[in-house]
Structure 1
């Protein structure tokens, strides 16, 4: 530590709570006669008493003027002032547990105004709610008054006749205790004589009052009658049915405060984040949509990623469901800036309805409504000049996200739809009636069709580049497709959207994968300014299934639940995990089982990465949108290609690998080496399998092994001899029964799918 700085050359700055002690204490003053003037002795207690507990601050004062905040300090905007720090640490610890005398909300002008405003609105609402139901309450009291009168008469009768003591008197009779019985009887007679007179007087008074009201009622008498009915109605109230309805149901969550946040953070077990750590609230905790928002700086050395790793512990510390806790960072300020949003409702249990359900049409140039963030705000994904990559584990809502994007595309009659669903489940089948190109399947023919689409898309990009270049500068000054240009049908520059769901089945294909990856990269890089949009979705984001040239160049990314850091960064971009953008924090499983299916991180659509829950469209809703889009396109004369019944161009050879493998079987052989099968396939279809046969050694064997893997056909050690004769050996090969079983299983699935 260093000595405290001085304000001028003569007078040192007065000591404060944060003044650091000198490293070496000064020598004791001399007391002898030659020591000079004696030093002034200051009273430590008196100096402490002169300190103001809350020193004045200004908006420009972000930190104490006398030096940095010492380690261990908790600085809060909503609790200004410096913490008591002296050698009596035990006493200071006890003081921290005391509740503040001045409420926290009164220490901030903004929060005080908001709190008073909320209280006023709440009181006005409750008052209006109850006044509007006054006739209902009066009716209830009137209907309950007879029951109340009966209860009152019954109670008066029991009181007058002293019936409450009857069980005691009967007990003395059973015990044959005459002395006690006589004593109780005399006491009862005494009570009844007095009570009869009281009850009689009350009855006569009520009769007279009733006759007066009936003969010549006045306002006061009517008021008395109303009061009597109200009293009788209250007496006659059923125990399970209250008279007055609640205007506002009590909330199940408490207001988020800095104390709660600090308590939750300090139990996470993060190194450097404990009860004595610096937690600086840079803004008051405020309401933000259906929840609370806290902006704070974590202690030095603690990053937002450290907190994200402990999200479940943070939810426990805040006593909220996991789906209510959404911490995120703001790396544009620094890596320790945490934005903590705590919702009132569990996001996993909410269903986001698509605005496109009721839309008659849509304009893709305005983006596509995609879903809601945790605050309930609509998130729109920009469409034109963007490409999109969606990734997740199976069953986490990837295809549902694709459905929502497809709905926005088909509802724009100027947009041309090329949809490819490469898992064969038929999730996009409702849109088939409006697609220029469409395929659904996992077989080689379907994958070849998707590969052909990318080849055609590459040609279309090159055609559009030439067409756009020829446009005059006044019509197309920025050399980009606009709404006005897209509406000119003669130019052929309308929006074109190509969706490939389960794209890993295409890019990992041994025949078409490499070329498809190159074509997709070309389209992504050059097609964005030409109105060509590529949307890819995969459940296996790895370097073999998703070419790096594709994943590195998409502009919008949506990542639902994934297993680890590698998959996370493949979808969201390099270093996303390190920067605290982690789709691994989502809980696997559907919402009805407490999972976060449909919820993911969206990057590129908004200035900052956001957690978004995609709108959900079931099959019925999807069909309604598709039917509406079909009618819209038919009226506009925009049904083309597949939707108009045209047959696709045979731009790529179609083949069935399993059927070809069976076709090259010789006789009744049970097993055969891979290299022999590859040579036979090359003779059968040289244009397809010729490159396989040109390989040698293990590469040639692995080619067939990898090609058969998607069909569930496993290879293993097989005993055999070379075709020209020679010494037998064990080599990698296949069993024909495995191939036949794979064909049977595949055809069975096709039949069941067609039947359903």
Structure 2
């Protein structure tokens, strides 16, 4: 380091040079290049120079650090434009504004597209506007022209008739001829005046129409034509768009509201919404409430998932719910729908009703599969049984424990399908004992025969009466066991412990055929009344089905004991009352209102409830077979499947008597010779003897004749075989009679 001292010492300076010993330390970030060696100086001088440099450096003060300039931006501050924050002018603000604007425009475009499908679409608006402007152009002068034309035609015909009468009046009549001529002249003058008025009315109409047509059609034609002349097709397009916009503006209001003069008479049947004023109007029209009274809406009218209207209403004080229910027909007329579409039920208290109005006629769609098809285990007949959906689509179930029922309706109403809901539920419970009687003899109950402990399918009143007597004996045995066990009635737990006390279902189809029989009708009625009145506590459930259970078909003493009533479609309200009870139709529950399309629907009335419109679950023939196959398997596993009835031959073999075995073999020979047409009615005696000997029974013709007694007519020889040889023989009827008489068996 060298200091050069000059004469001017006012601003001392120092020059610093690198010392020879200065080297870059290890790891430093700078590099000192090699520099030439400084000139040699005196050591004392070097010391003086260094001290002077230290003094100069000590006097020099470091400058104060510069303070950074901080710019504070208030993002909530506003500039001169009102309600526009400062951050809106930033990049992020403009981006957000652009996104909002884009999304708003896109949503607006979508709304515009959806709007075009409605009555507020621009095309429909233009159509309404064009129609309204055209109607204004046409005007009302046409009515005056038509009236003048009609008057002119009438007067012209009268003038023509008067002229004809004057022309053909003989001149010799004098005054009559003159009077006829004057009448003809007056009629002609009146006709000419009427024709002139007609012409004037037409002229005025045309002048007014032309003037209005110029006002309406002139500007669009001028705009389109002028635009085409000025700028070609572009101008014509602009004129057409302007015309379209003007027409849409003129038709912005729906035309129907302007032209509908009957809006106050519209109803649910016309597609209107159910409102509180509509409810008041309908109930007033049905005479349920007075003209000055109103309903209190507890639950506002609303649409359910099926598209039906439902509401809960409070009637004015002093008006019971049954008054509204009785007026179902009048309410349906006020709502503009069918009576079957309106359903009214009491809700909680006497003056509160629940109104349900379906969109279409209920129960006309295809029935859904019944719930029994989904069963993976045996059913429980002690619990609730699914009957079917009501008009709201809600499932309806009933309990048949200690109950009895009556199902009635006209032919084709769906009694067989309705009965299957109860019969299948009983069949799918292996614990239930089935006793069935088919008074129709048509085979509807035949698929259940192999599950029945007793079955009468031939529509035989005598056989049915014997069945009832056997059932009464079983009922007495049940009561004897209950008395022994110290119980009053059968419960599910008790029936599970004692199989002889299992539930028993007696189903009688077409009861009318049995009760109207001259010989056994009264006996059957008495036996049924005994079973229904006493058998409930013994676990015997009785159901009867018939067409019209009037007093001439079913005695009222029996009918009134049947607690469950199911009225399918009936032809008259009186027929409906014979099922549901007297006064049901007057209370608004009439099966007469059920339409023919609503097959399987009916009013179900269980104890303690009002009748409910229910459609029975429907099972096809294939589904019935599938369910009965399950029932058979479950009963076989449970050991409750009834054994097939023994034939007369098998009964004879169980006797263990030699003569019984001979007669059993004779019956087997008859069975072996049966054909497709049926069993053979007669066989030769020699053939029977040979078959008996072949089976190990050394029987002679004399012994066989002693076993089977024949009359002289039975001993007559008959042709047999291909050659037609006449042989004596034995009729099948005589063989069966001999077996049943000697051993007390049944064929």
- Could you tell me the TM-score, scaled by structure 2's length? 0.47
Which structure is richer in relative contact order (CA contacts within 8 A, separation 6 or more)?
1
| Greater C-alpha radius of gyration | 2
- Could you tell me the TM-score, scaled by structure 1's length? 0.47
